[in-house]
Structure 1
């Protein structure tokens, strides 16, 4: 009887260990990019060089998964030092007060094929807003080290004024809408 009980406890522990799946962003194969219209005639492109995140799922699929991503504002990079310094100032990201932008995903629902919609809270500076993000799932494979990896990408637009990035509130010089493009490879 003791052997049977011990076997049952070990099997149950194995199920709970196996059931919890955590995937982490691989920064070597991921990017956080943006573009914004300048003077109404051209675009400025940039990226953030430091970011991290996890997806934690209680089972083998993404049902009830929790998404947590951080983008570190001091790492903004448009390849123009004076502009990057200005973006780090209180006019834009105010990196001293707000060192990170955060996204916490609450639900994900599947559309057609590899299309999903991720619903969660985006925090930039002192503002948190619920947003819907379209996500394309690229699939799952194994990397060179034999670890499972999954690929995701998304493109969406936010209004920077909604997040207290109030520089040029008319949008004449720096547009209000920012296009965000993310490519994430996650490692299990």
Structure 2
């Protein structure tokens, strides 16, 4: 009887492990972008070019998915090198002290809209962790010669002052709110 119980536990564990699907972000078909208002009259666009991310799903629905994402902050790119150097400095990201920022999901809730979810998680920038909510849009899956792929779009707005990025704290020249949009393609592992 004891052996039967152990066997059932092992089979249950094996089924649960097999039910998990791991996905890895494809940086060649993804982008991590941001926009911020400048002087109250225009927007500055930027992106991060060095990042990695994983997604783990247990079923077809995304409501059980787990995300982990790491961004190498020194890869910031606004197409103006002098500005990028300033953004890497202690006035903004302090990349020498805080080389990475990260996101780890806590919960995903399907909304009433088709292929729309709310993605809750912890965003860490400069050693400060705050919960954020992304609007997550499921683009679908496709099978290619390179394997199965899954597409997502995630967007949110954060207040940079919450993360001790407090250069121009009044927001007169550089707005407080930063819009983040990630276009993500994951490859099944």
TM-score calculated relative to the size of structure 2: 0.89
Q: Does the CA contact (< 8 Å) of 1:35 and 1:46 recur in 2?
A: yes
CA–CA distance in 2 between the matches of 1:119 and 1:62? Answer: 13
- How many Å apart are 1:71 and its aligned residue? 1.2
- How many Å apart are 1:70 and its aligned residue? 0.9
CA–CA distance in 2 between the matches of 1:115 and 1:9? Answer: 36
Structure 1 residues 164-183: Cα deviation after superposition (integer angstroms, max 9, x where no partner) = 00100011111111111110
1:4 aligns with none
Tell me if 1:117 matches 2:118. yes
Give the match's secondary structure for 2:62.
Answer: coil
2:4 aligns with none
2:108 aligns with 108
Q: Which runs of 5+ in 2 are unaligned?
A: 1-7
2:81 aligns with 81
Structure 1 residues 2-58: Cα deviation after superposition (integer angstroms, max 9, x where no partner) = xxxxxx999767634421211110000000001111111111111000011101124
2:53 aligns with 53
TM-score calculated relative to the size of structure 1: 0.89
- Which has the larger displacement, 75-84 or 54-63? 54-63
Tell me if 1:33 matches 2:33. yes
Say what the alpha-carbon RMSD is for the aligned residues: 2.0
CA–CA distance in 2 between the matches of 1:13 and 1:100? Answer: 34
CA–CA distance in 2 between the matches of 1:103 and 1:63? Answer: 17
Q: Does the CA contact (< 8 Å) of 2:152 and 2:184 recur in 1?
A: yes
Give the match's secondary structure for 2:82.
Answer: helix
1:182 aligns with 182
- How many Å apart are 1:64 and its aligned residue? 3.2
Give the match's secondary structure for 1:152.
Answer: strand
1:168 aligns with 168
Give the match's secondary structure for 2:84.
Answer: helix
CA–CA distance in 2 between the matches of 1:11 and 1:127? Answer: 41
CA–CA distance in 1 between the matches of 2:99 and 2:45? Answer: 21
Give the match's secondary structure for 1:151.
Answer: strand
1:153 aligns with 153
Q: Does the CA contact (< 8 Å) of 1:72 and 1:99 recur in 2?
A: yes
Structure 1 residues 60-82: Cα deviation after superposition (integer angstroms, max 9, x where no partner) = 44343221011110000011110
Q: Does the CA contact (< 8 Å) of 2:107 and 2:119 recur in 1?
A: yes
